[in-house]
A and B are shown apart, each in its own frame.
Chain A
Amino acid sequence: MKTLLAGAAIALMGLTQTAAADGHANYPERPIMMMVSYGAGGATDFQARIVTMTSGNEDALGMPIAILNKPGAGGRVGWNWLAGQAEADGYTLGAYNVPHFIAQSIKGGVEYSTASFEPIANWGADPAVLVVGKDSEFNTLQDVVDFAKANPGKLTTSGAGLFVGHHIAALQMEKAGDMKMAYIPTKGGGAAAMKAVIAGDVMAGINNLSDAFRAAQAGNVKILAVADLERNEFLPDVPTMMESGLAVDNASVNFRGVMVPKGTPQGIIDKLAATVPTMFENSRVAGKMKAGGSPMHVMNRDEVLAMWAAREETLKELLAGL
């Protein structure tokens, strides 16, 4: 028995050595898994499925990427798992949502921070937008601001939860307009928040541009403003908040992309960082994303690192008083 164990140990050591020695030139040798910390069918999930669908092509990774959903607690369950339990061997990737995971790590109670992960590339940027029901008396952002200033704390505004992009946008609006809103976090993500606006449970809502775009197309809501630096290609007629006189930047934009847990071999990170952005730029991917109403925004590893650092700084300042 002892000799058997010893033999097995030697064999294992041999295996790891060869893997390290060839500098991961053969990576990936088997299919890769990507964890999405939201449920199947949600925006992050279905975008992740689209952007990874060409990964099996020879000019991409040459191996398919399978999506694994670990939903719960606004994404905390999945990211906790990726930071603490996932193997950092390059075969476990994760999808990130900024500002969500950064804001959660600042607020505390989770086992991750930006230092727990290594970004690979960004695929999408979904700005937060301000929506009101189709019969609402509000027709411009100014109407909403006027109401909120005249009635402090009375403007009920739904969003997908606390410390997600929607909440950040609401905090920024309050700060920029020197006003008080009543932010109502919903359980069940953006869909529940949108239902509250359509049904008139709340007076206004902050939601993802992609979901709001669909609701506006169906004639259920009016989109009053976009919380981004410039107008969005899907909504060329909707002004940014800045244009309307409210100094809200793009800190609430929901950036989606791919990362790996800290400790993943540098050779693999480099290989992924070189390949994954080109995979996102595939024309089939872009076509499907556009058809689904999902704005794309491809960034490479260095750009994402800079974006993460900038977000962390803004969020620390914004969340300091909470």
Chain B
Amino acid sequence: MRLIRQLLQAAQFRRFLLKIPGAPANIATTLDGHAMALNGEGAKALQLSFLSSAVGGVFGVLLLIFLTPVLAQWALAFGPSHLFWLAILGVTVIGSLDSASVVKGLLSGCIGLWLATIGFDDIMGAQRFIFHPSLGGGINIIAALIGLFAIPQVITMFAKGHKNDGTEAIQVQKHPIKSAVSELLRYKRAMGIGTITGSIIGLIPGVGGQIAGLVAYDQSKKFSPDKDKFGTGHPEGLIAAESANNAMVGPSLVPLLTLSIPGSPTAAVLLGGLLIHGIFPGTDLFDNHPDVAWTFINSMLIGQILMCIFGLYVAGMAARVAQVPQSMMAAIVLGLAVFGSYSVQSSMGDVYVMASLGVMMYFLERFGFSAAPLVLGLILGPIAESNFIQGSMIATATDGLAPYFFTGPLNLFLIAVVVLSVLYSGYMELRARRYTSKEEIMG
């Protein structure tokens, strides 16, 4: 478990300084983190992220310790229809995420949704767009992430490095930890939104981990008075995304520890580990093996704090990664990208997927499309699809489609949030247009 935490944190350095997320959960963090690093605030970005991770993470684990039985009921409350609406809520965020224009954001979201259909459909077993055996399992999300975020960077770095001998290094400003703490206290709202959103979403089996950061980022953007600064190196977005990412870790284990249902791939590995030792998660774990249960939960708590201290210690040094000449950096990152995508499931197919998506993304970026909405489409597509199919099968066997998807307090609440989210984005887009056209007239 400590290992999981460390992996999540180690991803952090690479993420900001180079705008390459290490895991699907980290996409939102790169949006502002990288911009801060470009402004020479790499050290500050790392410090803020480690601090907000620790706060969110500790809060999540405390929830796990004190509220597990209550939370377990919550986790069960989400049936196929609710998960479907939740995925749709995610889709409404796509357009406004890290894009110059809503239309381009939606278009790249659609590319992501299409990519998600490749492979054997998990429920029906139908084959879709499989032109090569290595695509049978669909696009691996880690390989896609590496390709979409790292490769365009690598190509850009190679291009630049050739032109000006890689002298264009970013100056790194020193940043005392004390001021990072006071900065964090200033952005209490982002912190609160991140932690709470992360905890709630993390609970939902099968969905939580991947979208917690993005939803928190979007929410804090909507509630913030400085909306325009998001994406340009604004600490608020970074703090919300990071605290949500880590707040979700504790609650995401609730379904496993109480009901013995793994809610995420990480939880599944943990379940296997417990079973090999003859320990059944569930009441058995807490009644008959409290030593294991508490050692495990406490180690998560200690892990959160230790990683924060370690992270703060190296933040200053790590920020210098950005000073390595670009051409060298590009070569190193390219090597890591190949190695990383191969090692996910020891498959060369994933490397080809990574490379081709990367080259595609490089050209898309030149036309103003961005990778974050594309990845969100890739993640949300299967969730929405499988839950819709399942829900509609249950619905046709019982009361029919409309009552199943449109009744019940949780369905209605989620639909209301979806509608609000769409209306709000539309309003913001209109307002932004009015402003720009005024400025154009004035100019």
Contacts and interface: CB of A to CB of B under 8 A. Distances in A.
B23 interface: no
Interface string A42-81: 1001100110000000000000000011111110110011
Given A215-B260, A218-B283, A80 B123 contact: no
A39 interface: yes
A187 B269 CA distance: 18
A151 B79 CA distance: 23
B152 interface: no
Interface of A: 39-42, 45-46, 49-50, 68-74, 76-77, 80-81, 84-85, 104, 107, 109, 111, 153-156, 161-163, 182, 184-188, 191-192, 194-196, 198-202, 211, 214-215, 217-220, 288, 291-293
B29 to A, nearest CB: 26
B80 interface: yes
Contact of B137 (A68, A71, A184, A200): A71
Contact of A68 (B273, B346, B390, B396): B346
B248 to A, nearest CB: 18
A162 B347 contact: no
Interface string B386-428: 1000100110111000000000000000000000000000000
Nearest to B138: A72
A292 B276 contact: yes
B268 A69 contact: no
Interface residues of B, number: 52
B206 interface: yes
Given A41-B262, A76-B136, 18 more contacts: A41-B267, A41-B271, A42-B268, A49-B272, A70-B346, A74-B122, A107-B125, A154-B398, A163-B125, A182-B397, A187-B390, A199-B78, A201-B79, A201-B394, A214-B281, A215-B259, A218-B284, A220-B259
A72 B119 contact: yes
Nearest to B124: A162
B272 A46 contact: yes
A71 B275 contact: no
B125 A162 contact: yes
B194 interface: no
Given A184-B390, A218-B282, A46 B276 contact: yes
Interface string B125-160: 101000001001110000000000000000000000
Contacts of B347: 70
A69 B345 contact: yes
Interface in B273-302: 273, 275-278, 280-284
A184 B272 contact: no
A49 B277 CA distance: 12
A168 to B, nearest CB: 14
